[in-house]
Structure 1
Amino acid sequence: MSNLFSSSVSLSERPRLLANTFVDSVNEFNDLQELILRDNDLIEILSDMLCKLNGLIRLHLSGNKMKKFSVNWNCLQNLVVLDVSGNEFSTLSTHLWEVLPSLTTVDISSNPLYCDCDIIPAIKELSKSPTSSFNQGYAICVAPESRKGQNIFEISNSACKDSHRAYCRLQ
């Protein structure tokens, strides 16, 4: 479902309209394994929108305008692949893997990543195996200035002290 909305549908209205497709449906979507919602200028996914997609294992949200990804704790328990490339995420949290226990692969490339010490735990999670992150060469820091242009997988946490790390959410 790429380019799903006409230009006359406002950005703020799109998440609600999309949620109505799934939340209000009598269908449980048990056989739906892959959902492609790329290039829809989505600014968010409502946290309960995907709860009926029990069989979903791949979710593609690339090319949207999302700054965060929220999902209810009991939703998307079988999700293995999450593609949020080409959005507006500035950081990533390990909370993502707590909420999505089956998640093994994430694509966060082409996002304006702020590579401070708070992102280090997520980078470690993404680095657990060669398949943990797609397009690793395109996950580039835009800030702070000292790390601008650096690949997130080349960041050392030696400059970060445990006292400066904060629990952050996927933004």
Structure 2
Amino acid sequence: MFNMGRRILVLLLIIQKATGQTTTSTGAPTVASANCDITCMSHCDCSSKGLSSVPQYLPTFISSLLLDNNAITTLNQSDFSRYSRLNWIILNHNHLTSLQADTFAGLINLWYLDLGNNYIHIIEVDAFLNLPSLQELILSHNSLHVFPLTVYDIFANIPTIDISNNPWQCDCRMLPFKQDMTGVPAFEKQIRCAGPANLAGKSLLYSVDAEDLNCSSFSLPVFLSSFLGVIGGILLTLSVFLIIWCRNKTSKTSPVPAPDTHVTSGDRDQTGHDVTETGTAESDDVERGSAHGPDPYGLDLGYRIVRPPLPPIPGAEP
């Protein structure tokens, strides 16, 4: 009875908008008299305004907000935080692709939310958390292909949910959801497989068994993503090894500075004057093997005293 009353109210709002009525039988403002500016009262009609985001200039006390047929692509928590009294939000026929966590946080009075006819394919955890008054949620005609198991319990506590006409992919990703299905929530009966081909058109609840949900069939996108991931890992590993090898090779081939073998020694000549001799130090073996032999009257470069030859003995044969 409660759901029927809500649907009648929605129908009346649509009829009033189409016929241009300005008041209801109780004198409350109707859709036709509502504006999308600061002058609107409890109900603000911002339909078909070309909006790309939720307007933030409306009165904070509004209770219903129509945003259908616009160009809104994303929703953030701050979009509705100033409108804490909302109980109606209509966002169908926009360009939404995902629902972030806590998008509707703080809307404890919200009981009707229409997100149909968008492109939603991702619903994050806690996107519908803490909405104790929510009675009806519309997600039909979107791009949902895998049912998020994290929201199953939340959906099960919402009296009316419409998730029909989504391209559900009945593969291994839907197995946890299939195992939790009881047949009691009405939304379980709305899921019909769009793929893979052997399950297309079948009811996930009635016509698909758990063992049918596998990911063994070839999928080009999955294959390409896995292949590119492996190639990327190999290239990264090779790059690291190449850098290490180049550094090691550079350190081994770097020239070592030669020791300074330039030796300067001081000596005195026969007149007693200082004489500076500059030469290259050589080993003792090389010095001994010199073609001219050591200087008999001087000091060698190693500062060794060289004994002069003995004078000839008189009368001795040469």
Instruction: Indicate the TM-score class for this superposition, using the shorter chain for normalisation.
Output: 0.5 to 0.7
Change (3 A) 1:42 1:117: same
| Paired position in structure 1 for 2:111 | 57
| Paired position in structure 2 for 1:15 | 74
Name the TM-score, length of structure 2 as normaliser: 0.40
Q: Do structure 1's residue 28 and structure 2's residue 28 form an aligned pair?
A: no
Residue in structure 1 matching 2:139, options 80, 84, 87 = 84
Superposed CA RMSD: 3.6
Distance 2:179 2:143 in 1: 21
Distance 2:49 2:99 in 1: 15
1:112-161 superposed Cα distances (whole Å, 9 cap, x missing partner): 110124324435666533x622983xx43121121012233333325258
Report the number of matched residues: 154
Distance 2:205 2:46 in 1: 30
Computing the radius of gyration over CA atoms, which structure comes out larger, 1 or 2?
2
**Structure with greater helix percent:** 2
- How far the C-alpha of 1:85 sits from its partner, in A, is 0.7
Change (3 A) 1:135 1:83: farther
Tell whether the 8 Å contact from 1:142 to 1:148 is kept in structure 2 after alignment. Answer: yes
Name the TM-score, length of structure 1 as normaliser: 0.67
Q: Do structure 1's residue 111 and structure 2's residue 166 form an aligned pair?
A: yes
Tell whether the 8 Å contact from 2:115 to 2:138 is kept in structure 1 after alignment. Answer: yes
The AA in structure 1 aligned to 2:145 is S
Q: Is there any run of 5+ residues in structure 2 with no aligned partner, and where?
A: 1-44, 54-69, 217-318
> Which stretch of structure 1 is more off in the superposition, 70-79 or 81-90?
70-79
Change (3 A) 1:101 1:112: closer
- How far the C-alpha of 1:89 sits from its partner, in A, is 0.5
Distance 1:68 1:91 in 2: 9
Which structure would you say has the larger RCO, counting Cα contacts within 8 Å and 6 or more residues apart? Answer: 1
The AA in structure 2 aligned to 1:15 is T
| Paired position in structure 2 for 1:169 | none
The AA in structure 2 aligned to 1:21 is D
| Paired position in structure 1 for 2:121 | 67
